[in-house]
Amino acid sequence: MADVSTTVQNVVEGIVSLIKGLIILFVFANIIYATGFDPIGGIIDLVNGFLNGGFAGLLALLVFIAFLG
């Protein structure tokens, strides 16, 4: 059973690393080239959505940031 949980954990870590890399790629691509995709604006909208939720939104934002770190 330990092998299954280790395998699942490794797969999830790989997927998370891939998503982080793609986010960084899109941010830098948008800074260097004028693309139609605006990841910075999307991040700002996401943070504003959390902050408009009041105290519960702030707690959700802190949990979200904890998962990213």
Backbone angles phi, psi at 37, to 5 degrees: -95, 130
- pLDDT one-digit tens code per residue, 4-51: 889 999 999 999 999 998 887 877 776 677 667 776 776 677 777 777
Full-model pTM: 0.49
Q: Is the dihedral of CA 43, 58, 20, 11 positive or negative?
A: negative
Element (H, E) at 37: none
